[in-house]
Amino acid sequence: VGADRQMAQRLREQLPSPILELFEDVGRLADGNGMQVYVVGGFVRDLLLGVNNLDIDLVVEGDGIRFAAELARYLKGSLRTHEKFGTAVIRWGDQKIDVATARREFYQYPAALPQVEASDLRQDLYRRDFTINALAIRLNGDRFGELVDFFQGCKDLELGLVRVLYNLSFVEDPTRILRAIRFEQRYRFSIEPQTLGFAREAIARQMIRELSYERMVDELILILSEENPAPALRRMTELGLWEFLLPGLEWTPWIEVEVAAVPPLLKALAEAGLPVPQRAWIVYFYVLARHLSPEGLRFVNDHYPLKQALREGLFKLHDQGNATNQALMDWLRGDHPLSRLEAILRDWPDEAVLALRAGFSLPDTLRLTAAWREIRQTRPRLTGRELKTLGIPPGPVYARILNRLRLERLDGRLEDAAAERAFALRLVKGDAPVGEAKGGHHV
């Protein structure tokens, strides 16, 4: 009881008040419906670790969908239900709340007796991946804050261990091998020795081949979305996982350097006020895939469910990556105008440019960052409206003229608006070449 009071206290201290109030409302609503409700999984794990996590997963002993519908109505949030799975998602402002019905489909014996109260929750938690993810906190009024720890998850959190709940866990769901690595590296834990043995066994039995590429890629993306994926990628190498995920990838010190260079690169971008890619995983994916053999690349192209733009980026890196790196080097070493850099990088997706730059030294990276910022921020002084007052008939030619003015300005020519006006008129008269539709500088 003392521990539970401590837990309730911890909820009150650590949670932002809207979440705490939400939990109290959830508990009251469940009481009114005669249901038991718990917050489970990553939220509880991170609460105990003192890490921010506002992904709320609720498990209801009772009709989860009916409960979710009531909660959504009460919160005036939106509701989406998946009847088949007994689950629902509530959106309440920016907050997402997953609601699941405690699952009972796995019984230990075919003729097991009807289970007592908490056993529905126990069954639900037993199906989960690791002890540290199988913790729950009760939200019902009278027992608000009671920690439910059937599998000694708390102890494993203290020991820093990632441990499966049963021996065949990885065989049943091999994505858990990648999940184990992700949690191990994120929290600087260790995969518990017996669990590691089970993982190695499942890998040796090639269980990962049973997975769909979709699920494999989803898990790989989660790893690549971690703040610093390098240690997890190294661990994957050590466990021999690349042969299933990116066949032919050889983890060299050079790849390691490139991967490790990405977080500081992203930081430099943010500090320079430049846009940081929302999906940083793509940068890592490019960094890795660039080192694939042509067969490896074909494998990825044939099997991975990737968006077309990403595929194009991959082939571009393979076909033109080295030449483009060389061109960037030349630009850095020589005294070249900004419009030259713009021309080198113009058709490259942002993430692929970052993957290219991952191999550069820090001073070079900073110079490129500064140059790129200038390229991004430079606009011509004239606008379309002013072109109109010059008597130039509106049309697609405007974009070409404005782009050409931008490039001239980038290189420090056309020192004021008057010079731009004169230049625009010369362009239209044909005294100066306008350039290609894409805004080509070389004409």
Q: Contact residues for ligand ATP (CB under 6 A)? A: 41-42, 53, 55, 57, 128-129, 133, 173, 175-176, 179
Nearer to ligand ATP, 203 or 341 (CB): 203
Tell me how far, at minimum, the Cβ of 1 lies from ligand ATP, in Å.
Answer: 26
Nearer to ligand ATP, 57 or 408 (CB): 57
Q: Which residues pair with 91 in a beta bridge?
A: 78, 96
Tell me how far, at minimum, the Cβ of 311 lies from ligand ATP, in Å.
Answer: 26
Nearer to ligand ATP, 170 or 242 (CB): 170
Nearer to ligand ATP, 55 or 415 (CB): 55
Q: What angle do CA 151, 156, 159 make, to 5 degrees?
A: 160
Radius of gyration for the chain, computed over Cα atoms and rounded to the nearest angstrom: 28
Tell me how far, at minimum, the Cβ of 164 lies from ligand ATP, in Å.
Answer: 9
99 phi, psi to nearest 5 deg? -125, 130
Nearer to ligand ATP, 182 or 441 (CB): 182
Tell me how far, at minimum, the Cβ of 87 lies from ligand ATP, in Å.
Answer: 11
Nearer to ligand ATP, 53 or 301 (CB): 53
Tell me how far, at minimum, the Cβ of 219 lies from ligand ATP, in Å.
Answer: 8
Distance CA(68)–CA(87), nearest Å, equals: 8
Report which residue's Cβ sits closest to ligand ATP.
Answer: 42
Tell me how far, at minimum, the Cβ of 260 lies from ligand ATP, in Å.
Answer: 22
Take residue 85 and report the two structure tokens written for it: 């799975």
Nearer to ligand ATP, 57 or 149 (CB): 57
Tokens 């980026």 belong to residue: 313
Tell me how far, at minimum, the Cβ of 222 lies from ligand ATP, in Å.
Answer: 6
